[in-house]
Structure 1
C-alpha cells in the first residue's frame, strides 16, 4: 500500500478545556453538596458555588464546541476521526446509562428492600421495632422519622404534560435528522427549532413543578428518602435536558450557517442520539418515580 492510500489522523494541540470542565464539575459537586447540607438554615455559599460551576461548564461547552467546529470545517477530520467520534459518543452515553442506573438502583433498594425491612419484613431480630416502632411500610414514603409529612407527586398534570412534550420532541428530532439526510434545509430548521422549543417548555414546566412541590406540597429534598430520590432523579434528568437543549441550539446555529451535509453530519447525529437517550430516561422516570 502506498503512502497516498493512508488517511491522515488529526491530533489536536493541547487544550485547556478539559481542565476547565474538570474545575466546573468540581464546583458543581462542592456547591450542590454544600447547598443541600444547608437547606434547612439557608446559610452558606453553596448555591453561588453551584451557579458558578454551571456557568463555567456552559462556557466550556461553547468554547470547546467552537474549537471542534473550526477543526471540522477546515477539513482536518477524516473517516478515522469520524469512527473515533462515534466510539467516544457511544462510551459517553454508556457512562450516562450507568449514571442513571445507579440512581434507579438506589430507588429500587429503598422501595423493595429498605422500606419493607424497616417495616418488619424478614427481620427476625426485630431491630425495626427499636429503630422505628410506628413505621408503616408503604411507598411513597411520605412520613419522615421526625414526624413531618409531605405529599406524593402524582403522575397527572405537569408530569404527564412533560412526558408528552419529551416524547413529541423525540419525533421532531428524528424528523429533523431525516430532513438533513435528504438535504431539506427548511424542514430541517423547522423540525429542529420545534425540538428546541419543546425541550425549553419541558424545563420551564419542571421549574413550575418544583415550585409547586416546595410551596404547596411540602415536598423538599429533606422530605426523607422519597424526597431525596424524587429530586435526585428528576433533577439530574433536568440537568441532562438542559445540556441536550444547549447542544440542539448549537446544532441549529450550525445549520443556519450552512454546516452539515447528508453524508457528513455526525455532530448532529450525536446530538440526536443524546436527545433520544434523555427521552428514554424520562419515560423510565415517569413510570418508576411518578406512577408506580
Structure 2
C-alpha cells in the first residue's frame, strides 16, 4: 500500500458523482413527464436509480471513515468547514425569499390593494397547527442536543433514544404540515402572498424531510456502532443541519404566521 507523508485524504476514482448527476437529470425529466402525462413508471425508475446511487456513494464514504481510517482530524476539520459553508449557502437561499416577503410586507403594490396581506385571503391561525409544529420542532432541537451530550458521555442508550425521538418528531412535523396544507383556504396561485407562503413553508418542509432522512441515516449508523466519543462528525453535521432547520422555522412562524394575524 502506498504511504503518504501528509494527513490529507486523496479520494480515489469514483463513478458515483457522474452516476448521481445522470440520475438527477433523469429524475428531473421524469418529473416533467409526471406533471404532463402522469407517467409514474419513469418517475419511480429514476427515484430508485437515484436512491441506489446515494446508498452506494454514502457506503463508500462510511467505509473510508470507519474502516479504512482516512478521516483524520485535519480531514474532519475540512469536512466541518464544508458543512458550515453549505449551511451558510442554505441561509442565503432563505434570505432571498424573506427579502421578497418583507419587500411586499413593507411596501405592498397597488395590484394587491396596497395592503398586506391581500384582501379576501383567509390566513392560518398561528395558535393552531403552526404553534403545535413550533413546539414539536423546538422539542426535536432539545432531543438532538441531548443526543450530542450523551455521545460525549459515551452513553449509547440515551444517545440512540434521543436521536430516535428526533426522527419521530421530524416525521410528526411533516405530517402536521401536510394536514395544514389540506386545510388551506388559499393556494400558491392566490396573489404574491400565496406564492411566498408556499415557497417558504414548502422549501422548509422539504428541508425538514431531508434533515429527518439525515438523522435516520445517523440512527442506522448508531445501530452499527459507527460512532464513538472521538469520531462522530456524521452526527455532528446532521445536528447542525437540524438546528438550522429549527432556526428557519422560528423566523417563519414569527413573520409569516404570527406577525400578520
> Normalization by structure 1: what TM-score?
0.78
The answer to whether the 8 Å contact 1:107/1:229 transfers is yes
Counterpart CA distance in 2 for 1:159 and 1:55 is 33
Partner residue, 2:159? 188
> 1:139 and 2:116 equivalent?
yes
> 1:264 and 2:231 equivalent?
yes
Point out the more displaced range, 197-206 or 79-88.
79-88
Counterpart CA distance in 2 for 1:57 and 1:110 is 38
Structure 1 gaps, min length 5 = 36-41, 119-131, 143-148
In the alignment, which of 239, 243, 246 is matched to residue 279 of structure 1?
246
Counterpart CA distance in 2 for 1:26 and 1:285 is 31
> 1:66 and 2:37 equivalent?
no
RMSD (Å) for aligned C-alpha atoms:
2.7
Q: Deviations over 1:83-103 (max 9, x none)?
A: 111111111111101111111
User: 1:64 Cα deviation (Å)?
Assistant: 2.4
The answer to whether the 8 Å contact 1:31/1:46 transfers is no
Matches within 5 A, 1:173-184: 173-184=144-155
User: 1:22 Cα deviation (Å)?
Assistant: 3.8
> 1:94 and 2:93 equivalent?
no
The answer to whether the 8 Å contact 1:9/1:78 transfers is yes
The answer to whether the 8 Å contact 1:20/1:56 transfers is no
Distance 1:179 1:23, change over 3 A: same
> 1:17 and 2:10 equivalent?
no
Flag the structure with more relative contact order, 1 or 2, with Cα contacts below 8 A and sequence separation at least 6: 2
Of the two, which has the highest radius of gyration?
1
Structure 2 gaps, min length 5 = none
Say which SS state the counterpart of residue 44 (structure 1) adopts: helix
Distance 1:47 1:196, change over 3 A: farther
Partner residue, 1:168? 139
Partner residue, 1:79? 73
Point out the more displaced range, 90-99 or 103-112.
103-112
Point out the more displaced range, 87-96 or 13-22.
13-22
The answer to whether the 8 Å contact 2:187/2:194 transfers is yes
Distance 1:20 1:6, change over 3 A: same
Say which SS state the counterpart of residue 183 (structure 2) adopts: helix
> Normalization by structure 2: what TM-score?
0.87
User: 1:291 Cα deviation (Å)?
Assistant: 1.1
Distance 1:192 1:233, change over 3 A: same
User: 1:59 Cα deviation (Å)?
Assistant: 4.4
